[in-house]
C-alpha cells in the first residue's frame, strides 16, 4: 500500500509569552486526532509541542496535499486557538494567516512536511524507520547545514561511501522568498553539484531544502517545510519554526548520521523577535521556551511503522538523553557569547530580514534625514 506521513505544525497561542501551549490546547488537539483515527481519516496520529508550536504527526493513505487531512489539521488548530483565546494566551491563532484555506494549508501559515511512499515491507525497505524534526524560534534554513552534512559529506555520514548510497542524493532547494504562484525550486545532485548546493544553502534566510531523494533507488527520504511567514504575511508575524520528516536506515543515512551535525549547535536566524543569530539547542520533545533570549530549539523523535502503518505507541526521543548534555551546555555558552554583543553585527540578522518588522519604518524615517554634505575641494 502507499502510506503518507504528514507533519503539520503551527503556533496558535502560548502561556506567558512565546513559551508553550496550555494543557487544554494540547488535549483538544489529541481528542481531535483520536476522533479522526476513529472516523477512518487517519491510520494513526501523535500530538506534541516544541516550544509554543503544536505539531500533528499523522499516517494515512490519502497522499500529500490532501484536502481532508489538511482541513482536519487547520480545524484542529482553530479549536486550540479558541482555547488559547479563552485562557488569554499570547499570540492566539498566530500562525493561521489565511481566513480559511480552500484546499491544503501550504502557504497559509502552518509548517508542512509530507512524504508518500510504497509501504510493501520488501527490499530495499523491509522495515520503515523515520525521524521527525520539530524546531522552534528559527527559520527553515536551520536544516540547511545539518541536512547537507548528513546527505552529502562522508565526514558526517560514513554510509555515503557504501555501495547503496554511493550514487548520492538529489536535493530540491526552494527560493523561500518567492511569493508568486506555485513554488520556485532548483534540483541539484550530490556529489557532482556539491559546491553549487553549498553556495545556495549558505544563505539560510533565502534558500531552504524542500526534499531529498536517494538516486540509487529513486526514493524520497526527506521532506522539510520551507514556508517563511513573512513572505506569506508581508510582515513579521512570528518565526517560521520548521518541521522535517527523514526516512532512515538501509538505503538512507542512519539516525546517528543524520543527528551528528546537530552536535555543532550551529548558529541560525531566530531567537527573540526572530531577529537574531543564535545557536540551535537539541532538547526533548514537549520542551517550553524559557532559555536565553528565546534560544532556538530542536527536538527529534524516531519511529518504526507497524505493518498497519501505526507508529504512535512507541518512539525514541533522541535528545532526551544525557549524551546531548554537553551539546546543550555548548549551545548555552555560544548563546551567551553571541548575546554579549547585543545588536552589533552578526548578533542580529541583516536588514533584509528585519525590514519585515518595525525596523523598516525607523530606517526609512532616518534615511529621510540624511544630508549630502558637499565634499571639501
Q: Report, in Å, the least distance between residue 238 CB and ligand 13P.
A: 3
Omega cis (within 30) before 124? yes
Using DSSP's 3-state secondary structure scheme, residue 75 falls into helix
Listing from the earlier edge strand, what are the strands of the sheet with 53-60?
44-50, 53-60, 2-10, 111-118
Q: For residue 67, indicate whether it is catalytic.
A: no
Q: Is 95 in the site for Mg ion (CB under 5 A)?
A: no
For 40, which DSSP code?
T
11 binds Mg ion (CB under 5 A): yes
Residue 190 φ then ψ, to 5°: -95, 135
Does the footprint of Mg ion cover residue 227 (CB under 5 A)? no
Does position 21 interact with ligand 13P (CB under 6 A)? The reply is: no
What is the chain's Cα-based Rg? 21
Longest dimension (CA), the chain: 83
* Best CA proximity match to 238, nearest among 47, 53, 7: 53
193 scored as a contact of ligand 13P (CB under 6 A): no
- Identify what 294 binds: Mg ion, ligand 13P, none; CB under 5 to 8 Å per kind: ligand 13P
How many whole angstroms separate alpha carbon 208 and alpha carbon 230? 15
Kindly state whether residue 227 participates in binding ligand 13P, applying the rule CB under 6 A: no
Residue from the set 114, 193, 241, 353 that interacts with Mg ion by CB under 5 A: 241
Count of positions on this chain that bind Mg ion (CB under 5 A): 7
**Residue 52, interface with Mg ion (CB under 5 A)?**
yes
Q: Does 230 bind ligand 13P (CB under 6 A)?
A: no
Beta bridge partners of 299: 134
53 is a site residue for Mg ion (CB under 5 A): yes
Catalytic residue among 9, 11, 156, 267: 11
Among 136, 172, 257, 353, binds ligand 13P (CB under 6 A): 136
Among ligand 13P, Mg ion, none, the one that 232 touches (CB under a kind-dependent 5 to 8 A) is none
296 binds ligand 13P (CB under 6 A): no
Question: In terms of DSSP H, where are the helices of the chain?
Answer: 23-38, 67-86, 144-152, 194-201, 229-233, 255-259, 325-339, 351-354, 359-367
Q: Is 239 a catalytic residue?
A: yes
What does the binding site for ligand 13P look like in residue numbers (CB under 6 A)? 11, 18, 51-52, 91, 94, 136-137, 238-239, 241, 272-274, 294
Q: Point out the residues that are catalytic.
A: 11, 236, 239
Amino acid at each position: 500500500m502507499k502510506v503518507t506521513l504528514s507533519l503539520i505544525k503551527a503556533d496558535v497561542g502560548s502561556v506567558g509569552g512565546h513559551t508553550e501551549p496550555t494543557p487544554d490546547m494540547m488535549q483538544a488537539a489529541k481528542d481531535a486526532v483520536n476522533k479522526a483515527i476513529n472516523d477512518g481519516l487517519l491510520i494513526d496520529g501523535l500530538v506534541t509541542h516544541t516550544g509554543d508550536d503544536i505539531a500533528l504527526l499523522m499516517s494515512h493513505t490519502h497522499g500529500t496535499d490532501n484536502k481532508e487531512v489538511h482541513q482536519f489539521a487547520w480545524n484542529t488548530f482553530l479549536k486550540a486557538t479558541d482555547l488559547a483565546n479563552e485562557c488569554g494566551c499570547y499570540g492566539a491563532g498566530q500562525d493561521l494567516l489565511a481566513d480559511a484555506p480552500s484546499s491544503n494549508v501550504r502557504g497559509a501559515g502552518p509548517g508542512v512536511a509530507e512524504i508518500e511512499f510504497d509501504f510493501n515491507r520488501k527490499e530495499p525497505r523491509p522495515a520503515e524507520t523515520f525521524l521527525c524534526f520539530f524546531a522552534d524560534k528559527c527559520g527553515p534554513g536551520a536544516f540547511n547545514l545539518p541536512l547537507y552534512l548528513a546527505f552529502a559529506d562522508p565526514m558526517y555520514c560514513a554510509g555515503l561511501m557504501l555501495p547503496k548510497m554511493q550514487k548520492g542524493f538529489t536535493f530540491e532547494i526552494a527560493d523561500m522568498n518567492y511569493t508568486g504562484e506555485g513554488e520556485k525550486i532548483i534540483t541539484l545532485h550530490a556529489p557532482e553539484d556539491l559546491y553549487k548546493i553549498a553556495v545556495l544553502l549558505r544563505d539560510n534566510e533565502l534558500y531552504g531544502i524542500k526534499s531529498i531523494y536517494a538516486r540509487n533507488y529513486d526514493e524520497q527520504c526527506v521532506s522539510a517545510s520551507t514556508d517563511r511567514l513573512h513572505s506569506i504575511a508581508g510582515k513579521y508575524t512570528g518565526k517560521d519554526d520548521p518541521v522535517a520528516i527523514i526516512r532512515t536506515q538501509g538505503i538512507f543515512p542512519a539516525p546517528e548520521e543524520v543527528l551528528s551535525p546537530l552536535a555543532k549547535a550551529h548558529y541560525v536566524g531566530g531567537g527573540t523577535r526572530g531577529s537574531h543569530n543564535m545557536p540551535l539547542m537539541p532538547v526533548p520533545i514537549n520542551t517550553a521556551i524559557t532559555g536565553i533570549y528565546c534560544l532556538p530549539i530542536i527536538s527529534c523523535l524516531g519511529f518504526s511503522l507497524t505493518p498497519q502503518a501505526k507508529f504512535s505507541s512507541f518512539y525514541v526521543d533522541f535528545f532526551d538523553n544525557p549524551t546531548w548534555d554537553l551539546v546543550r551546555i555548548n549551545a548555552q555558552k555560544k548563546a551567551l557569547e553571541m548575546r554579549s554583543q547585543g545588536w552589533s553585527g552578526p548578533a542580529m540578522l541583516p536588514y533584509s530580514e528585519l525590514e519585515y518588522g518595525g525596523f523598516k519604518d525607523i530606517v526609512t524615517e532616518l534615511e529621510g534625514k540624511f544630508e549630502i554634505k558637499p565634499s571639501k575641494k
